[in-house]
Amino acid sequence: MFAISLGDDGAELRPLEPWQAAEFLAHMDRGREYIGRYVALPTVCTDLPSARAFLQSYADKAAADTGRVFGIRLDGTLVGGVLLRVMDTAAGTCEAGCWLEPSASGRGLVTRAVRVLIDWAVNERGMHRVEWQVSSANTASINVAKRLGMTKDGVLRESYPYRGVRHDMEVWSVLAPEWREARQGTRDQEAR
């Protein structure tokens, strides 16, 4: 299986597949409350069959070219993940998302992993628009969108009912020309 290094700290990005359901469930159990503050994933993956079904749904999406899921590992341990929740290759649009255990937060892992994901979506799959939808209360995820150079498109007021509360959802995005220009600027600065 392939792995993409996310830096010198032992972090890497790898595909998540159905055969890894037990490890994925253990990861969910370690971060269930923290991850579940804004993301419904821990309520979807509550036991081994549901964890396997979630990963199988993304294996099916990968086969149909409509989504992807990858695990973020730190020194070999699964600590989070990034995904393309939906991917419409005909329209050139996709929605990226993420989750992370509390033990791995504050290290820039999500930003680095999503950067790799967007590079792939834009440069390999030809996506024109990458969206990021986030609860207005989720400051950490909003900060990721900002670090990635995304633009806030607007707020879908009280559009997401979760745990008995209707959340405002912010929509952020980056367009392929903006992404390429920003990435070229980064490469130019690194070359100096």
Sign of the Cα torsion 106, 164, 69, 149 reads negative
Residue 14: pLDDT band with limits 50, 70, 90:
very high
Sign of the Cα torsion 152, 158, 161, 167 reads positive
Give the pLDDT score at 74.
94
> Half-sphere exposure of 7 toward its Cβ, with a 13 Å CA cutoff?
13
pLDDT at 121 over 80: yes
Lowest mean pLDDT across 37-41, 122-126, 132-136: 37-41
Average the pLDDT over 19-47 and give the result.
95
**DSSP H or E segment with residue 58:** helix 48-64
pLDDT at 177 over 90: yes
pLDDT at 191 over 80: no
pLDDT at 187 over 80: no
Give the pLDDT score at 192.
62
Give the pLDDT score at 137.
94
Average the pLDDT over 109-125 and give the result.
96
pLDDT at 186 over 90: no
Average the pLDDT over 87-99 and give the result.
97
